[in-house]
Amino acid sequence: MVGGKLVSLEADVRRLESIVGAAKGRIDVVATPIGNLADLSPRARDALAHADVVAAEDTRHSGGLLRSLGLQKPMLSLHEHNERDRIDELLARLAQGQVIALISDAGTPLVSDPGYALVAAALAAGFDVQAIPGPSAVLAALAASGLPTDRFCFEGFLPTKAGARLERCRELATEPRTLVLFEAPHRIADTLADLATACGPERRAAVAREITKAHETIYRGTLAQLLDICGKDSNFARGEITLVLHGAPQADTTPDGAFVRRALNVLRGELSTSRAAAVVAQLTGLRKSDVYALAVAQGGTEDDEVGGP
């Protein structure tokens, strides 16, 4: 009996070893260019070259990228409408030891793109997932916006329906961190108008369009100024758009908030709103733009907004 149990145990061990040995598949989450092909890293190209299969949001679009790299790879589509239906098939490939390169149409997968459900399922099944970092519209727009980058949050796309969009803008109006959003060209004017209503027309923002492409343009200013530009510049609402919004002014929540309000009330009797805000900011170390917003909220006359941090 003992010998029979040992044989059975050895068989179980061999089966486990077989499963573990086979389960060496991996998902490489590969960031691809958002416009300029030169932004693809050597590591990303190497990952695509060595993958057994490429899971792409749009195989036609990504097929062009692979051809430009001189690569021919088996491809399958993975988009918002079929991702969950693909999971079992892809997990089976991982169980066979295959390496899957996951890419989106542009930028870093999973960031407002498909892939989360697959990655979560692969990790739950014990497979490895690694990121091959690279181009990101979120970080590129943030870095070039001229707005604070020490703390920020990504909101993705706002609701498409007008009422829901305005409600969400009002919810975001008090967020102190810099906000990064994506928006469709045909909705950017409405979104800017809703943000101006919710956050005030003097909230600073930046609209980055066609990042890294030939017609890249970054518009910076207040929401009111950006709306004005949008109405005059025919190129404003074209191409891929990333919107960066300054966080809500926080002067009211600082320990010396009462002093700030009193100082502004005194100085606004002698100085312009922007000059009074500059003096108080210098005395307190607060951002001039935050103090200016507070001064306007207290009834100050809007004039040239104070620049700088």
pLDDT in tens, 281-299: 888 878 888 888 888 877 7
CATH number at residue 78: 3.40.1010.10
My answer on whether 215 and 288 are in the same domain is no
Cα 284 to Cα 280: distance, rounded to the nearest angstrom:
6
Cα 232 to Cα 230: distance, rounded to the nearest angstrom:
6
Task: Tell me what pLDDT residue 291 has.
Answer: 86
Query: Phi and psi for 270 in degrees, rounded to 5?
Result: -115, -25
pLDDT > 80? residue 3: no
Last residue within a domain, chosen from 89, 114, 135: 135
Does 3 fall in a domain? no
Does 13 fall in a domain? no
Quick one: which of 204, 229, 208, 230 has its CA closest to 217? 208
Does 15 fall in a domain? no
Cα 87 to Cα 4: distance, rounded to the nearest angstrom:
40
Q: How many domains does the chain have?
A: 3
Cα 78 to Cα 308: distance, rounded to the nearest angstrom:
44
Does 305 fall in a domain? no
Number of CB atoms found within 10 A of residue 25's CB: 22
My answer on whether 231 and 257 are in the same domain is no
The SS3 of residue 74 is: coil
Question: Which of 18-22, 202-206, 297-301 is predicted with the least confidence, judged by mean pLDDT?
Answer: 18-22
My answer on whether 145 and 240 are in the same domain is yes
Task: Tell me what pLDDT residue 305 has.
Answer: 47
Mean pLDDT of 212-227: 96
| Residues ≥6 apart with Cβ < 8 Å to 238 | 185, 209, 210, 215
My answer on whether 130 and 178 are in the same domain is no
Question: How many Å separate Cα 15 from the centre of its chain?
Answer: 44
Residue-range definition of the domain harbouring residue 287: 251-297
Does 6 fall in a domain? no
My answer on whether 85 and 97 are in the same domain is yes
Q: How many residues does the chain have?
A: 309
Cα-Cα-Cα-Cα dihedral sign, residues 297, 302, 306, 309: positive
Residues 107-156 pLDDT 10s: 999 998 999 999 999 999 999 999 999 999 999 999 999 999 999 999 99
Does 264 fall in a domain? yes
pLDDT > 50? residue 13: no
pLDDT > 50? residue 306: no
Which residue stretches of the chain are H helix?
A: 2-22, 42-50, 59-68, 83-95, 116-124, 137-145, 162-172, 188-199, 223-232, 257-267, 273-284, 288-297
CA distances from 5 to 10, 12, 17, 200, 219 (A): 9, 10, 18, 76, 74
CATH number at residue 143: 3.30.950.10
Q: Tokens in use for 22?
A: 């086979």
Q: Tokens in use for 119?
A: 């990655």
Residues 142-198 pLDDT 10s: 999 999 999 999 999 999 999 999 999 999 999 999 999 999 999 999 999 999 999
My answer on whether 235 and 143 are in the same domain is yes
Q: Report which secondary-structure segment, H or E, holds 46.
A: helix 42-50
Mean pLDDT of 85-114: 95
Long-range contacts of 59-62 (CB under 8 A, 24+ apart): 61/105, 62/32, 62/103, 62/105
Last residue within a domain, chosen from 135, 165, 191: 135
Task: Tell me what pLDDT residue 259 has.
Answer: 80
| Higher per-residue confidence, 307 vs 169 | 169
Q: Tokens in use for 233?
A: 């510049």
Question: How many Å separate Cα 258 from the centre of its chain?
Answer: 36
β-bridge mates for residue 242, sequence order: 182, 208
Quick one: which of 55, 142, 140, 64 has its CA closest to 91? 55
My answer on whether 129 and 29 are in the same domain is yes
* Residue listed under structure tokens 């967020």: 175
Residues 221-271 pLDDT 10s: 999 999 999 999 999 999 999 999 999 987 544 546 778 888 888 888 888
Does 11 fall in a domain? no
pLDDT band at 14 (very low <50, low <70, confident <90, very high): low
